[in-house]
Amino acid sequence: MNINGEMIIGASIVRGAAGTVRAYNPGTKQELEPAFGLATSDDLARACLLADAAVEPYRALSLEERANFLETIAQRIIDLGPALIERASQESGLPTARLEGERGRTVGQLRLFAKVVRDGLFLEATLDSALPERTPPRADLRMRKIPVGPVAVFGASNFPLAFSVAGGDTASALAAGCPVVVKAHNAHLGTSELVGKAVLQAALDCGMPEGVFSLLIGEGNMIGGDLVSHPAIRAVGFTGSRAGGLALAQIASRRKEPIPVYAEMSSINPVYLLPGALATGGAALAGAFVDSLTMGVGQFCTNPGLVIGVAGPQLDAFRAAATAALQLKPAGTMLTAGIHAAYTDAVGIRAGIAGVTLVAHGSSDGAGCAAKAALYECDAATFLANPALEEEIFGPVSLLIACQDEHELLAVTRHLEGQLTATVHAVASDHALAGALLPLLERKVGRILFNGFPTGVEVAHAMVHGGPFPATTDPRSTSVGATAIERFLRPVCYQDVPAGLLPDALKDGNPLRIARLVNGELKLPA
């Protein structure tokens, strides 16, 4: 499939006429061919109106048709072959093996949502029988979830496939029965065009209503604001910076009819090294930590940006082993020139904060947008006194906090902002302290993990990739995993609706054969 600098509006492949923009190779610092046409405000309006027109026909399809559409998108992405990986690597600086893994995750995600759709559990079908003899009589009440309507999706810079055009937000919104309008991330325009055309092809293959999917190209902020402001859009999925997420949330809250924004924004993902774990395997921990810190040049939402331990010989040994490991790590190419510049600036500011010292850095600066990893350190008092040290720096940098004792470690924990993850390294002798940490962490984070590292987010039913502000704008939700579908649904109750007019999910006899809550009791299909 060729890359022509085009976008997708309903069933049409369109070249935007509001100027051009080019993708960029951060490894070579060269612009890439071709030029992409930018969407006009008419293009945007057309995509939104087509999405609105697709709401009724798309949600009226059977669950099987919806699931098949998701699986067909997955197959069409596979069919793009190595050209997709090659272009994504050029645009992101990410190695091909990583991108092949990400493609596997992306199609796995689409297939998981196909299964979720077929199961029908997401409909939360609920039936309460009429009680005509009761005083007062109870009506027949039935409830199901319906899609909220068109969803605007903003892809992330750091996952050109899994959090982009056909990533988790798009897959979960389409699974919920919502048409999607994606704004392509300008860091990977060619990748976006390829995947967008795969989605379009799948929509045509499956006879989907026009408007179920559109892909717009535009200069960042303006088209984003216009998209979130458009009356047809009913919810927003976003992965990116805190400033970007908050800006979209503000726009959404000032609409005539406010809409929810699911923004996954910023997290420094504390890693706790409890005393027993440090004593047992501190050196191995240091190596694994440095691998996690530098994986993907630190460009993960779940990058371990904070390491917390109790000062003493065992933490000293960890520091020494981490230093040795970090000094061997070569610089890596960051995703964009902007991200690289922001990283360099932020690390410079951190280095200048009184009380913060450099522990170690990676082996060298490289060519292009290459960034050197770094580990800094401060004591708990310095951390508690400097809110800037809680701000995420996107890239391979972390801060070690050496606490005086367990009491101070808990005080640092209570002070933390909301996070996507917290990690605890603990052996049996640490379980009393871990037990004291757990309830504090539960109130701060979306995912708690033991004896691992937070990078790597499994796509599963029990995954939570979310958390209290500023990790996200909505801690009741996750952007990864099966329950991400819940973000794009809302309940409707049907009272005494005649049998012939009821949706299938709520009909007597359970024709969809889904699990339903009947008079308060969960009933599985026979």
Question: Residues 253 to 272: which contact its own copies by CB under 8 A?
Answer: 253, 257-258, 260
Q: Interacting stretch for its own copies, rule CB under 8 A, among 19-27, 114-122, 322-330, 347-355?
A: 114-122
Q: Does 522 bind its own copies (CB under 8 A)?
A: yes
Residue 125 sits at φ, ψ, to 5 deg, of: -60, 130
Distance of CA 333 to the CA centre of its chain: 22
Q: Does 99 bind its own copies (CB under 8 A)?
A: no
- CB of 50 vs its own copies, minimal distance in Å: 17
Question: Measured between alpha carbons, how far is 323 from 362 in angstroms, rounded to an integer?
Answer: 9
Q: Does 449 bind its own copies (CB under 8 A)?
A: yes
Nearer to its own copies, 157 or 473 (CB): 473
Which of 65, 86, 100, 119 forms a contact with its own copies (CB under 8 A)?
A: 119
Q: Interacting stretch for its own copies, rule CB under 8 A, among 208-216, 307-315, 327-335, 445-453?
A: 445-453
Nearer to its own copies, 204 or 284 (CB): 284
**Any idea what DSSP says for residue 138?**
B
Q: Environment class of residue 499 by beta-carbon count within 10 Å: exposed (0-12), middle (13-18) or buried (19+)?
A: exposed
Omega of the bond leading into 136 within 30 degrees of 0 (cis):
yes
Q: Environment class of residue 268 by beta-carbon count within 10 Å: exposed (0-12), middle (13-18) or buried (19+)?
A: buried
Q: Does 242 bind its own copies (CB under 8 A)?
A: no
444, 454 Cβ separation under 8 angstroms = no
How many Cβ atoms sit within 10 Å of the Cβ of residue 207? 9
Q: Does 342 bind its own copies (CB under 8 A)?
A: no
Which one from 301, 369, 378, 403 is the annotated catalytic residue? 301
Structure tokens at 375: 């580990």
Residue 422: in which H helix or E strand, if any? strand 419-425
Q: Does 27 bind its own copies (CB under 8 A)?
A: no
Nearer to its own copies, 25 or 483 (CB): 483
Question: Measured between alpha carbons, how far is 254 from 283 in angstroms, rounded to an integer?
Answer: 52
Which of 18, 334, 371, 463 forms a contact with its own copies (CB under 8 A)?
A: 463
Q: Interacting stretch for its own copies, rule CB under 8 A, among 189-197, 268-276, 312-320, 491-499?
A: 491-499
User: CA of 66: how far to CAs of 62, 69, 77, 229, in Å?
Assistant: 6, 5, 17, 28
Structure tokens at 361: 């850095």
- Of 483, 402, 471, nearest to 443 (Cα)? 471
Which one from 6, 264, 392, 408 is the annotated catalytic residue? 264
Which of 13, 49, 78, 121 forms a contact with its own copies (CB under 8 A)?
A: 121
Q: Does 497 bind its own copies (CB under 8 A)?
A: yes
Q: Does 95 bind its own copies (CB under 8 A)?
A: no
Based on the residue annotation, tell me whether 264 is a catalytic residue of this protein: yes
Omega of the bond leading into 470 within 30 degrees of 0 (cis):
yes
Binding flags for its own copies, 32-71, as an x/- string (CB under 8 A): -----------------------xx---x-----------
- Of 219, 265, 269, 267, nearest to 240 (Cα)? 265
- CB of 522 vs its own copies, minimal distance in Å: 5
Structure tokens at 25: 């190779």
Q: Does 180 bind its own copies (CB under 8 A)?
A: no
Which of 12, 490, 504, 507 forms a contact with its own copies (CB under 8 A)?
A: 490
- CB of 448 vs its own copies, minimal distance in Å: 6
Distance of CA 237 to the CA centre of its chain: 9
Binding flags for its own copies, 468-487, as an x/- string (CB under 8 A): xxx--xxxx-x---xx----
Nearer to its own copies, 29 or 255 (CB): 255
Which of 78, 359, 411, 438 forms a contact with its own copies (CB under 8 A)?
A: 438
Nearer to its own copies, 435 or 511 (CB): 435
Q: Does 519 bind its own copies (CB under 8 A)?
A: yes
> Could you say which residues in the range 498-517 bind its own copies, by CB under 8 A?
498, 500-501, 515, 517
Question: Measured between alpha carbons, how far is 311 from 408 in angstroms, rounded to an integer?
Answer: 11
> Could you say which residues in the range 367-406 bind its own copies, by CB under 8 A?
none
> Could you say which residues in the range 136-155 bind its own copies, by CB under 8 A?
136, 138-139, 141-143, 146, 148-149
| DSSP state letters, 52-121 | HHHHHHHHHS-HHHHHHHHHHHHHHHHHTTHHHHHHHHHHH---HHHHHHHHHHHHHHHHHHHHHHHH-G
Q: Interacting stretch for its own copies, rule CB under 8 A, among 89-97, 357-365, 399-407, 493-501?
A: 493-501
Based on the residue annotation, tell me whether 301 is a catalytic residue of this protein: yes
- CB of 141 vs its own copies, minimal distance in Å: 4
How many Cβ atoms sit within 10 Å of the Cβ of residue 170? 30
**Any idea what DSSP says for residue 330?**
P
Which of 19, 330, 491, 511 forms a contact with its own copies (CB under 8 A)?
A: 491
- CB of 175 vs its own copies, minimal distance in Å: 14
Residue 24 sits at φ, ψ, to 5 deg, of: -145, 135
Which of 464, 485, 505, 512 forms a contact with its own copies (CB under 8 A)?
A: 464
Nearer to its own copies, 121 or 342 (CB): 121
How many Cβ atoms sit within 10 Å of the Cβ of residue 323? 15
Nearer to its own copies, 15 or 59 (CB): 59
What's the CA angle centered on 495, arms 492 and 496, to 5 degrees?
145
Residues that bind its own copies (rule: CB under 8 A) add up to a total of 79
Q: Does 7 bind its own copies (CB under 8 A)?
A: no
Cβ contacts of 309 within 8 Å, gap of 6 or more: 272, 273, 274, 275, 278, 315, 318, 400, 401, 402, 403, 409
Catalytic center residues: 264, 301
